[in-house]
Structures are given as C-alpha cells and as structure tokens.
Amino acid sequence: MAAVFGGTQSLHTNSFDEALGLPTIKSARIARNTQIIIQEESGIPKVADPWGGSFMMECLTNDVYEAALQLINEIEEMGGMARAVAEGIPKLRIEECAARRQARIDSGSEVIVGVNKYQLEKEDSVEVLAIDNTSVRQKQIEKLEKVKACRDKAVAEQCLRALTDGAKTGQGNLLELAVAAARARCTVGEITNAMKEVFGEHKANDRMVSGAYRQEFGESDEILHAINRVDKFMDHEGRRPRILVAKMGQDGHDRGAKVIATGFADIGFDVDIGPLFQTPREVAQQAVDADVHCVGVSTLAAGHKTLVPELIKELKTLDRPDILVICGGVIPPQDYDFLYESGVSSVFGPGTRIPKAAVQVLDDIEKCLNKRQQTM
C-alpha cells in the first residue's frame, strides 16, 4: 500500500516465508492477492495522488529530497558515481545504514512484530518448499551438455573470439556481440569469460563499517555481557576470538554478512571477510591462512546443503578440522538437523540477535578448545 501511495510503476510483494526458503504456492498466492485487494478493493489506484495536499507527506518528501541532494553533491565533489563505486562508498553507506537498523531491531528500539516483540512462546512450524539441489544441478549440467553438443561449434567459437576482440580493441558494440554469441548458443559463463579475458573481474572494496552497530545498540546489559565474554576469552587465550565471514557459490547478496561482520567486530571479535562467489576450497584456505577459530557461512540462495559439507571436508583435507563452521541466513528449519549432522556447530536463523549469536559462537569455540586440550 505504501508503494502504491508513492506512485510506484510496478510492485512485488515478498511471500511471508521467504526468510526461511523459497515460497510455497500458498504463500505466493497470499502475497499476490494482497496486491490484488489493494488494486481491486481499496480504490487507491483510481486517484492520481491520494496524499496530495497533505502537510505530513509533503514534509516527508522534502526531507527525502534534501537528504538525497546532500548525498548527490557529496558524490559529485568526489568526482562522480563511477569514482565513488570504485572506492566502495555507496556500498559502505548502505551497510552502515543496515548495521544501525539491525542494532535498533536487536535492542528493541525498533519493533518488528513477531520478531522482537509479541512473540509466541512456541512458534508454529511453517511449511517450506524443499528443492533437491543435487537433482537440479545435475539436470542443469545435462541441459548445458546437450546445448553444446547440438550447436555449431565453429560458429560459437567465432562469436566468442569476436567478443574478446571487441573488448580488446574497443571496436563494435559489446552488447550486440554478446547477443550474437547467445544466438549461437554460447552459455552465459562462456560469454562472461570471453570478456573477462580482457577486463578481468571486479573485486568489491571490502571496507567494514566500524562502531555503527554498538553505537546504535547502546550500552545495554546484553551487549556488555557479550563484550565481557570476549575480553575474558582474550585474557585466557592471549588473543581475540577470530571469525571468517564467508559467502560461497553464486549468492551475490552480502549485506547480511557485512552486518554480522560489523556487529561481531563491535563486540570485540577479530573479523575477516571473504569476497563474494568463493568456492569451499577457497574459503577453507583463507580460514587456515588467517588461523581463525571459526567460519561463519552466510547463505541466502539455498546452497547450504551442498556447499557447507564441502567446506567442512576441505577443512579436514587441510588438517584443520578444529576450525568450527557456523551457518546463518535463509535456512529452512527442517535443514538444521542435516547441517548439524554434517558437522556445523550452530545455525542462526532470521531474527537472531547478534549479541546472543556472539555468545553462542564463543561457547562453541571454548568447547572446541577445551576438547582439543583434553586430547593432547
């Protein structure tokens, strides 16, 4: 309704279960019908500007305009948006805003009904759509193999060479060349690699927000308890607990991971952040090189049942099974037992408060260290 009041040109309503997994047909229908009720029953779309003349709405609009103009001027003084993106400024600002909001939710100063207020003692289980990742992956591989077998190999290779040459020389339209390659049945990966040979791959500037989470949360007993636990750990072990926050596979959303990294760092953890699109082997190697106590896997794209067991296997191969693996993000509750059986020490679902998660991770690390000392 807020989007419609704002004059949106298109609207998408997330289903209620998308924090747990892919939406079911039932939840998707509820989301769609919510839009249809606004469209067909409310009468709002029949009015061009329902809030026209409202002092409150005009004031809010002006506030947004002034704040946006300040940011635009700041970017222009910096040399433009391309320069700002290269330095990671927009991403950093978004992550700072996300960290502050998460702190307000965790501390209870911002209410999310059912998450940090008005919770049931025992929540009803929610049916979540289950996808067999292994089966989907195998079918996709078979489709790609079939496409490559049926296409004209010479034409496909010629189109890919033309794309690479166009990138090298700057001659021709890369989009046109990419479309020609697609029509020759080249895959998205092949088209990407043809240009990657020349342009390389963009690596985001991984700067971490500092202090925003703790400042917004305030000095409550909960966060002070977590900080004291970290200080005691440091006194006992001679160094701070160290965590690598990792993203694996083709999940390109890292805002949640950055919020976790910021929150843990503000509580006192030493935090390493891995780049997007890492393989389990790359994450394991980074964890070993950084000598972390645990790897925190942030997952939003249903790859946890495939990628997390591979990560645990790679850590064992590198002779570091003592590095713990924890998971957080969009993970269906029915998958928790699978992850525990695979060797994951803790799973944190949507709505988990960062101080609580930090204390749990400390508990896991201390148990692991005590167990290792007993076996030595």
Alpha-carbon distance 243 to 323, whole Å?
A: 10
State residue 136's pLDDT score: 86
What is the mean predicted confidence (pLDDT) over 289-303?
A: 92
Residue 349, CA atoms < 13 Å, CB-side half-sphere? 13
State residue 367's pLDDT score: 93
139 and 259 inside one domain: no
pLDDT of 205 higher than 70:
no
What is the mean predicted confidence (pLDDT) over 44-63?
A: 91
The answer to the question of residue 336 being in a domain is: yes
The answer to the question of residue 279 being in a domain is: yes
Residue type, position 42, single letter: S
Tens of pLDDT, residue by residue over 83-111, are 998 888 898 999 999 999 999 999 999 99
Q: What percent of the chain has pLDDT over 70?
A: 99
pLDDT of 156 higher than 90:
yes
Alpha-carbon distance 307 to 236, whole Å?
A: 34
The answer to whether the beta carbons of residues 213 and 263 sit under 8 Å apart is yes
What is the mean predicted confidence (pLDDT) over 158-166?
A: 97
Tens of pLDDT, residue by residue over 304-361, are 988 999 999 999 999 999 999 999 998 888 899 999 999 999 999 888 999 999 999 9
The answer to the question of residue 319 being in a domain is: yes
The DSSP annotation for 222-284 comes to HHHHHHHHHHHHHHHHSS--EEEEE-BTT----HHHHHHHHHHHHHT-EEEEPPTTB-HHHHH
Q: Which of 199, 234, 255 is the C-terminal boundary of a domain? A: 199
Residue 110, CA atoms < 13 Å, CB-side half-sphere? 13
pLDDT of 198 higher than 90:
yes
What is the mean predicted confidence (pLDDT) over 289-294?
A: 97
Pull the structure tokens for residue 6.
């704002």
225 and 292 inside one domain: yes
State residue 376's pLDDT score: 67
Q: Cα Rg for the chain, rounded, in angstroms?
A: 24
pLDDT of 301 higher than 80:
no
354 and 249 inside one domain: yes
pLDDT of 210 higher than 80:
yes
Say how many domains are in the chain. 3
> For residue 283, what are the domain limits?
212-375
- Long-range Cβ contact pairs of 80-89 (< 8 A, separation 24 or more): 86/205, 87/205, 88/204, 88/205, 88/206, 88/207
pLDDT, greater one: 8 or 204: 8
State residue 4's pLDDT score: 87
177 and 301 inside one domain: no
The answer to the question of residue 19 being in a domain is: yes
The answer to the question of residue 8 being in a domain is: yes
The answer to the question of residue 190 being in a domain is: yes
pLDDT of 133 higher than 80:
no
216 and 345 inside one domain: yes
Q: Which of 71, 90, 107 is the C-terminal boundary of a domain? A: 107
pLDDT band at 234; cut points 50, 70, 90: very high
The answer to the question of residue 126 being in a domain is: no
Mean pLDDT of the residues in the chain: 92
